[in-house]
Amino acid sequence: MSHAPKIQLGIDVLRSDLRQLPGTRWALVTNDTAVTSDLTLTSQALWQDGAPLCALFSPEHGLHVTAQAGESESHTVDPRTGLPVIDTYHLSASQLQAAITQLDIDLLLIDLPDVGTRYYTYASTMIDVMRSAAELGLPIVVLDRPNPLGGQIDGPGCQAEYSSFIGRANIPIRHSLTIGEIARFVAAYDTQLGRPAADLHVLTMHGWQRNMLWKDTGLPWVMPSPNLPHPTSALVFNGTALCEGTNISEGRGTTRPFELIGAPWASEQLAEQLNAYQLPGVRFRPTWFTPVMSKWAGQAISGVQLHVTDPYTIHPLRTALYLMSHLASHDFAWNEPTWEDSGPQTPYFIDLMWGNSHLRNRLAEMKPRDIDEFLHDEQLKDWIDPELLLYSCDKYAISHR
């Protein structure tokens, strides 16, 4: 019987010899979802190893990851290490730069998981911190982690005028990059634009291959945020998170967020209608559910549960568009942006998620037969130039769909 190869994470590589990194005052950007391969918190492991940590920076959801989407925590001190905690989520660029300056650090260390989808915000936190550090001339070290969605690339890039906290980089929705590769891409891209060059280093993994889904890594799944309890949640999130841009429930407030999708006007034949398309890697089950929070809280609504039958063949974006096209009627509506840093002056959250206004402009008139052509036209096939691709991905072989 074959076993998944042993993955040595960036944090594991660092712990093998802390002397790899310079400096006597390190700040660590992290939260409790970043752990070693044996499930020790990164912050606690480094503290116990004698790393010269002087502060922790936390992203959305907070250091202990108790806050819901669009929220953070009020902790100012980490009770395990006694280190001060700076909440980056509500800081402007100038405030973030000031917070880094006040700490008088000489190295910025980043260890945050990513879920392989552009609109997940931990990468945006990393990019914001990187850019502040670059302005200050501080070295940045990213501890690399697997992309749980593997090497497939899908969806449009993010046009510059739609850049926001849910899309800092012009990469596809399903981007195939590791967190370290996103950092390298952004650093190279920023240099091309004339921004201050980041003194960036990535401690890469050992044993990871880009064609691996999470189940292939042999690593235990740690919930990266409150509403991604399982690798399947992260896989379908790549598509069904688009419902956040609408008044369709994406299952927040249930035990199966992003797998349960519904609305008060959803037909009880919705599952039957969707199953008739024989979409690869997924089956739909009719169901009712009552969210305890978020959209339609306390109200029983009709919908479907997505059952992933083959994680290697499911096409989350395509699946989500088939689903949304059936619900884009009656009382359907688009949501306004809710993030503090909402990017351009657009009244529609979906534009920030998709990276342009095309989906919003087309969905109401889009028939299922139109979806494949629409997705084909939206693909960002040449999403970075060859030199940046080589620079970002010279450690792990990259595969394009």
**61 within 8 A of 225, measured Cβ to Cβ:** yes
Beta-strand (E) ranges in 158-214?
199-203
Token digits of residue 280: 């690869």
DSSP of 60-129, one letter per residue?
Answer: TTTTTT-S-TT------B-TTT--BEEE-TT--HHHHHHHHHHHT-SEEEE-----SBTT-THHHHHHHH
Domain ranges of the chain: 10-212+383-392, 231-378
pLDDT in tens, the chain (401 residues): 445 447 999 999 999 999 999 999 999 999 999 999 999 999 999 999 999 999 999 988 768 868 677 767 676 899 999 999 999 888 888 889 999 999 999 999 999 999 999 999 999 999 999 999 999 999 999 999 999 999 888 999 998 889 999 999 999 999 999 999 999 999 988 998 899 999 999 999 999 998 999 999 999 999 999 999 999 999 999 999 999 999 999 999 999 999 999 999 999 999 999 999 999 999 999 999 999 999 999 999 999 999 999 999 999 999 999 999 999 988 999 998 765 545 556 779 999 999 999 999 999 889 888 999 999 999 875 555 545 555 566 556 544 33
Q: Give the separation between CA 215 and CA 149, rounded to whole angstroms.
A: 10
Contact between 52 and 26 under an 8 Å Cβ cutoff? The reply is yes
CATH number of the domain at 10-212+383-392, out of 3.40.50.12170, 3.90.550.10, 3.20.20.100, 3.40.50.620?
3.40.50.12170
Does residue 329 contact residue 273 with C-beta atoms inside 8 Å?
Answer: no
- Dist. CA 94–CA 144, nearest whole Å: 27
Taking domain 231-378, whether its CATH number is 3.40.50.720 is answered by no
pTM of the model: 0.92
Distance CA 251, CA 110 (A): 31
- 187-196: list long-range contacts, CB under 8 Å, 24+ apart: 187/130, 187/134, 188/387, 188/388, 188/391, 188/392, 189/384, 189/388, 190/131, 190/134, 192/388, 195/131, 195/134, 196/131, 196/134, 196/135, 196/137
